[in-house]
Amino acid sequence: MSIVTRFPPSPTGYLHIGGARTALYNWLYAKRYGGRMVFRIEDTDRERSTDAAVEAIFDGMRWLGLDWDDGPYFQTQRFDRYAVAIQQLLDSGRAYHCYCSRERLDELRATQMATKQKPRYDGHCRDLDRAPPAGVPPVVRLRTPQAGDVVVADRVHGDVVFNNEELDDLIIARSDGTPTYHLTVVVDDLDMGITHVIRGDDHLNNTPRQIHILEALGGTRPVYAHLPMINGPDGKKLSKRHGAVSVMQYRDDGFLPDALLNYLARLGWSHGDQELFTRDELIANFDLDGINKAAASFALDKLLWVNQHYIQTSPMSTLVEASRPFFAGAGLDEADGPALDQAIDAQRTRARTVLEIVDKSRPYYGWEVALDPAAAAKQLTAAALPVLEALSVAFSALPAWDQAALHGVVETVSATLQMKMGQVAQPLRVAVTGSTASPSIDVTLMLVGRERAIARLGHAIAWIRNQDPTASSA
Ligand code: GLU
């Protein structure tokens, strides 16, 4: 059997973490078994669906590199097909017209609530033996079996039994003839040859109803796998309260798509205790057996850790591409500083996100440097004045601005002033970068460049004199 999975988002908002994980699992499963993934936009809810959301979902899929083999299909383009299916169910007697008024249904519901019964349709029109009321456009309801069980053989949860008595005759077409959600999903899954329905746990209760529609249409059941929910660290369903839930927000926060993908794969699925997977490893190892039953917990720390790994190991071209817009956004221009790959190379072992790389690279571009007040107070002192002056003289005299020569200057100045290397390097670092944390001092100086370094030493010297007019040179 060739495997066909599907990702059918409702375009009511951006692609969120849960949706992306569903897409990923369907993608992985299809890839693993040489199958196909169908991409379908469930846009029949015209009030809540927007073109912007469709675009946002496409953007998220593209950014994550999740492609599809079939589609995208839009449910709004398939109304004719749904009408045929509804008629088929009416003709076969598996569905019927219901003329009950809103008032009658409200009253029924109120009575059921008052007598502590579960609100459900009472089958009033199920076997209508009188003429239907004139001028009332009917809805169509599925004739659901009234006894027995539906056993959903779920690949994650095992057999889940639903009693048919609990399921009433659900509406499959509204009085204006438009199909309802359950009908469209089932017709599409049937027409598109879906063999595996892999979706969130929140759809598990829909499954017995959808099975009834499917079987009434003569279809056979796909394999079902309902994925555990994703909670925030407090154990409550992941939501905006916990931070970003939009996939694209993670891009904007400096995460790499491969890192988010790796993290999402592990959010509800495991393969031994392996945490880091390439895409190929995920494809080779992903299976429904590894999906956890219990809800997953979204942990930003872990995502940062995974991202850090990808920042350290991704090809430079990937990092340059991912960080270029952030450098531009921060006003850091390659024409006015080192090539991006050099800045990235210096910072990649120290950063957890692309944004951090960019932020730490600020001293390499432009002329201003923001002095960290604590670093300045500690390092730019009267004692540092002779150090910075000696460095400034030596740097100006250097014939070439190269790493070995710069290292030599720091060594010579330390020896001449009888100081430890660190006593020279730290004030120098603060003078040229504004902070005490940076890659090795010679790499830092290379990236800052001669003119900027000497100008900043001059500023630091003036700053010290300004703070302490009694400070004296060597
Ligand atoms: N359109 C549904 C949603 O976005 C998915 C339905 C399904 O997977 O069956 O939640």
pLDDT digits (tens, 9 = 90+) for 185-202: 999 999 999 999 999 999
* pLDDT tens by residue, 386-410: 999 999 999 999 999 999 999 999 9
What is the SS3 assignment for 159?
strand
State whether the beta carbon of 185 lies less than 6 angstroms from ligand 1: yes
pLDDT of residue 468: 84
DSSP string, 370-414: ---HHHHHHHSSGGGHHHHHHHHHHHHH-SS--HHHHHHHHHHHH
Neighbours of 34 (CB within 10 A): 8
* pLDDT tens by residue, 5-43: 999 999 999 999 999 999 999 999 999 999 999 999 999
The answer on pLDDT for 355 being more than 70 is yes
d(CA 203, ligand 1 centre) in Å: 8
pLDDT of residue 131: 87
pLDDT of residue 366: 85
pLDDT of residue 213: 98
pLDDT of residue 46: 87
Domains of the chain: 4-80+181-231 (3.40.50.620), 93-173 (3.90.800.10), 367-474 (1.10.10.350)
The answer on pLDDT for 335 being more than 80 is yes
Distance of alpha carbon 118 from alpha carbon 168, whole angstroms:
10
Quick one: tokens of 73? 């299909």
State whether the beta carbon of 10 lies less than 6 angstroms from ligand 1: yes
Which residue's alpha carbon is nearest to atom 9 within ligand 1?
185
pLDDT of residue 19: 96
pLDDT-based confidence at 54, cuts 50/70/90? very high
Reported pTM? 0.93
DSSP string, 291-346: B-SSPEE--HHHHHHHHHHHHHHS-HHHHHHHHHHHHHHTT--GGGSS-HHHHHHH
* pLDDT tens by residue, 268-323: 999 999 999 999 999 999 999 999 999 999 999 999 999 999 999 999 999 999 99
State whether the beta carbon of 42 lies less than 6 angstroms from ligand 1: yes
State whether the beta carbon of 360 lies less than 6 angstroms from ligand 1: no
pLDDT of residue 171: 97
Mean pLDDT of the chain: 95
d(CA 7, ligand 1 centre) in Å: 8
State whether the beta carbon of 199 lies less than 6 angstroms from ligand 1: yes
Distance of alpha carbon 430 from alpha carbon 425, whole angstroms:
9
Quick one: tokens of 283? 């494809």
d(CA 211, ligand 1 centre) in Å: 15
Mean pLDDT confidence for 374-379: 96
d(CA 41, ligand 1 centre) in Å: 9
Please report, for the chain, how many H helices and E strands are present, in that order. Answer: 19, 12
Mean pLDDT confidence for 428-441: 94
Residue at 356: amino acid letter: E
Q: Which of 240, 293, 360, 378 is catalytic?
A: 240
Most informative mutation of 5, 6, 10 for ligand 1 (most atoms within 8 A of CB): 10
The answer on pLDDT for 176 being more than 90 is yes
Q: What angle do CA 75, 186, 215 make, to 5 degrees?
A: 155
Question: Is 237 a catalytic site residue?
Answer: no
State whether the beta carbon of 9 lies less than 6 angstroms from ligand 1: yes
Mean pLDDT confidence for 232-257: 93
DSSP class of residue 462 equals H
User: For the purposes of burial, counting CB atoms within 10 Å of the CB of 190, is it exposed (0-12), middle (13-18) or buried (19 or more)?
Assistant: middle
pLDDT of residue 334: 94
pLDDT of residue 186: 98
What is the enclosing helix (H) or strand (E) of 41? strand 36-41
pLDDT-based confidence at 244, cuts 50/70/90? confident
Which residue is associated with the tokens 């495991």?
270
d(CA 19, ligand 1 centre) in Å: 9
Which residue's alpha carbon is nearest to atom 6 within ligand 1?
8
Most informative mutation of 78, 199, 202 for ligand 1 (most atoms within 8 A of CB): 199
State whether the beta carbon of 18 lies less than 6 angstroms from ligand 1: no
pLDDT of residue 268: 95
The answer on pLDDT for 413 being more than 90 is yes
d(CA 13, ligand 1 centre) in Å: 13
pLDDT of residue 470: 85
Question: For residue 315, which phi and psi values (nearest 5 degrees)?
Answer: -60, 145
Q: Which atom of ligand 1 is nearest to the CA of 189?
A: 9
d(CA 182, ligand 1 centre) in Å: 10
State whether the beta carbon of 43 lies less than 6 angstroms from ligand 1: no
The answer on pLDDT for 474 being more than 80 is no
pLDDT of residue 129: 84
Gap between the terminal Cα atoms of the chain: 83
pLDDT of residue 7: 98
The answer on pLDDT for 457 being more than 70 is yes
State whether the beta carbon of 8 lies less than 6 angstroms from ligand 1: yes
